[in-house]
Amino acid sequence: MKKLCFLLFPLVLLSCKSNPSTTTEKASQSDSKPLAISYKVKESDVSDFLKYLSSDELEGRETGTKGIEKAAVFLEDFFRKNNVKPYFKTYRDTLANFKSPAYNIVGVLEGTDPELKKEFVVLSAHYDHIGIEKKQQADVINNGANDDASGVTVVAEMAKYFAETKSNKRSILFVFFAGEEKGLLGSKSLVPKLQKLNFNLYTQLNIEMVGVPMKRDFLAYVTGFDKSNMAEKINEYTGKNTIGFLPKEAEYKLFYRSDNYSFYEAFKKPCQSISTFDFENFDFYHHVSDEFKVMDIPHMTSFIQELLPAVTQISSTPTEEITMK
C-alpha cells in the first residue's frame, strides 16, 4: 500500500478519535441463491506462491532493483504455466514514468461470450514493495508479505481458477503493478495506454493487504464503499456478509491510495480495492517484520474461496450490475 505517512504508527492510532456518529455498516444481502463453485483453492498453492514472493531472495521487491526483476520473471512464468496470455506483445508493460527499467506484468483471459468478451474486468495487485532498509540492523529486508504479496497471491489464484474453468464470459485483465510504493506509478503508466486502445472497462477489483483476518462480522472491506454498489453486489453473489464498511477506510481516504484510483480517475467506473487490513490486526506496515511467517494461510485460502462466486458473477452477468452511485 502506498505510504500512509505517519497515520499507521501505533501512538497516532491510539490518539485518533473516531466519529461517534459513524458506525460499522453492513452491505445488504440478496435472497438470491449464490453460484455454486466446485473448484477448491489449495492451501499449499497459496502458501508456496506467497512464500517465494515474500522471500529474502527477492530483497523486498523495490521497483527498479534486481529483486523485483526476479519477481517479474516468477510472475511471467506463472502466467505462462497457467495459459494466461500476454495482453501486449509480452507480459511486460514498461513504466513510462520511472527512470530505470520497470515493468507491470499484464496477462489476459479472453471471455467466452462473443459480445461480453468486448468488456473487461480488471483483477489487480501491486507486486513491488520498499526493498532494503537503509539503516543497519539485524534484518534489513522489507519482505512485504502482506503489502502486497498477499494481494498478488490472491489475483494469481483467481487467474489459475479462470484459466482452468473458463467461466468468464467477459475478458479479464490480470495486472501486477510495479511502482505502487513510488506513487501509483504502474497504474498511472498503464491507464493511458489502455485508453488509447479504447479499453472497455466494466470494473476493477484491486486486492490490497489481505494476509491476516479481521475480528469483525464481515470478511473484508472495499475502499470507497459509498462510491458504487460493489459491496452490495459482492454480498449478493456470495450469499454472505463478505464485504462491510470500515470507518477508518473513509477517514484515511484509502480509496485514493492504491492502484484502483488511477483506473477510477481515467474511466469513471467502479474501481475499488478489497482489503482486510483494518489498522488493528497488523503491526508491521512498511516494517521488516512483514514476513511470510506472520501470514494466515488458512484465512487467505478461505478468502479466495469465498470471493470466487463473486468474481465469476462479475465476469459473467448479462448486464453491468455493478454501477457508480
CATH number of 40-217+256-314: 3.40.630.10
Identify whether the C-beta of residue 141 lies closer than 8 Å to the C-beta of residue 62: no
**Cis peptide leading into residue 148 (ω within 30°):** yes
Identify whether the C-beta of residue 319 lies closer than 8 Å to the C-beta of residue 173: no
> Is the pLDDT at 18 greater than 80, yes or no?
no
Neighbours of 42 (CB within 10 A): 12
| Residues with Cβ within 8 Å of residue 8, at least 6 apart in sequence | 279, 285, 286
Q: What type of residue is 80?
A: R
Neighbours of 76 (CB within 10 A): 19
Q: What type of residue is 85?
A: K
Residue in 192, 149, 199 with CA at minimum distance from that of residue 173: 199
Spell out where 128-207 has E strands: 171-177, 201-207
List, for residues 27-55, the tens digit of each pLDDT value: 444 446 889 999 999 999 999 999 999 99
Question: Which of the four pLDDT bands, split at 50, 70 and 90, describes residue 1?
Answer: confident
pTM: 0.92
